[in-house]
Copies of this chain bind each other. A is one copy, B any other.
Amino acid sequence: MKSTTEKPSSIAVDWGTTRFRAHLVAGDGRLLESVDSDEGMGQVRDGAFEAVLAHRCEPWLLAFPGLPVLMAGMVGSRNGWREVPYISCPAGLADIAAGLASVTTSGGATVHIIPGLVTADAAADVMRGEETQILGAGVDDAVVILPGTHSKWAIVRAGRIETFRTFMTGEFYNLLTRHSVLRLLAEPQADGSDTRSAFQAGLDAAAADGGLLSSAFRVRTGVLSGRLSPRDVEPYLSGLLIGSEIARAIELAPPDLPLVLVATGIVAVNYSQAIKAAGGAVTVVDPERVLVNGVLRVARHNKDTSNVRPD
């Protein structure tokens, strides 16, 4: 961890089910230092949240006493450090900042946890962490797409998150590629091999056909009949699932709103290709970047974290 002489504004933490990511953030949002570990919610035993924070961020906490620590993600869930009640949609920066809950560590540090959101409709769909990324995207009117294990599509108008919907796309991919009969047909991709055509074939199948229950089986028949290479099974399934998500989500997205995709790497490539194939266009923003921006925006709108300098 490199040392820094610049006075940071805060420590921004993205603490989800599988990862712990912390950033020492300058007043202008630049990342001065970062740490990343696999100590997600699922890994923390006996509620030892403070121990993880102390272990990963000790140098920062010692060097900058009183520096506000802000966290987003499942850390605010029932099984997290402290359960923070969901804020009901529609919700904007002020609503979310007002819902901030805090924990004081034995070391005297104050940890502020950003609340998640619940939709106002009967589905009562929920998110924790994505609300901060959406705020960080800084869009007034857009459909913000956050791919993942449980992908979110959020409708933002006048800077407020009106509603959103979850798709279990990443989880279904894991189920089919790790636990289903289809896993037996798959072979790993050769390094650097082109997966675009197999992914596109999956997109085409999702667009053409009636339902995942039927189209997923086409992977098996495709390999049996030689139409599909075992190495194409995973990108094909990825295309099939992402294509299915987008086919549904596009129907729900107000056509007057631009699409903003919060993704990087292969996920950004896949979703961009899929949305383009569905006739849409997206602006891609970096997940880490918008998370940190969102944390700073929330911090600056909460009196307890007012020592986070404004831009």
Chain A interface residues toward B at CB < 8 A? 118, 122-126, 150, 165-169, 171-172, 175-176, 178-181, 210-214, 216-218, 220-222, 224-225, 227, 241, 244-245, 247-248, 251-252
Contacts and interface: CB of A to CB of B under 8 A. Distances in A.
A165 B126 contact: no
A181 B171 CA distance: 8
Given A171-B181, A221-B124, A212 B214 contact: no
B248 A210 contact: yes
Q: A-B pairs with the 4 shortest C-beta distances?
A: A124-B225, A210-B248, A167-B213, A211-B248
A168 B124 CA distance: 28
B210 A251 contact: yes
Given A167-B217, A224-B126, A227-B124, A211 B175 contact: no
A262 B122 CA distance: 36
Contact of A150 (B126, B168, B217): B217
A221 B171 contact: no
A115 to B, nearest CB: 14
A252 B210 contact: yes
A258 to B, nearest CB: 22
A165 B248 contact: no
Give the interface SS of chain A, mostly helix, strand, loop or mixed.
helix
A175 B168 contact: no
A175 B122 CA distance: 26
Contacts of A180: 168, 171, 175
B175 A213 contact: no
A224 B128 CA distance: 13
A270 B176 CA distance: 25
B213 A168 contact: yes
A169 B221 contact: no
A213 B248 contact: yes
Contacts of A168: 180, 213-214, 216-217
Nearest to A222: B124
A35 B150 CA distance: 46
A181 B178 CA distance: 14
15 contacts: A118-B225, A123-B218, A123-B221, A124-B225, A168-B216, A168-B217, A172-B212, A175-B175, A175-B176, A178-B179, A210-B248, A210-B251, A211-B244, A213-B244, A213-B245
A244 B180 CA distance: 19
A125 B169 contact: no
Contact of A124 (B210, B224, B244): B224
A222 B166 CA distance: 13
A181 B227 CA distance: 33
A176 B213 CA distance: 13
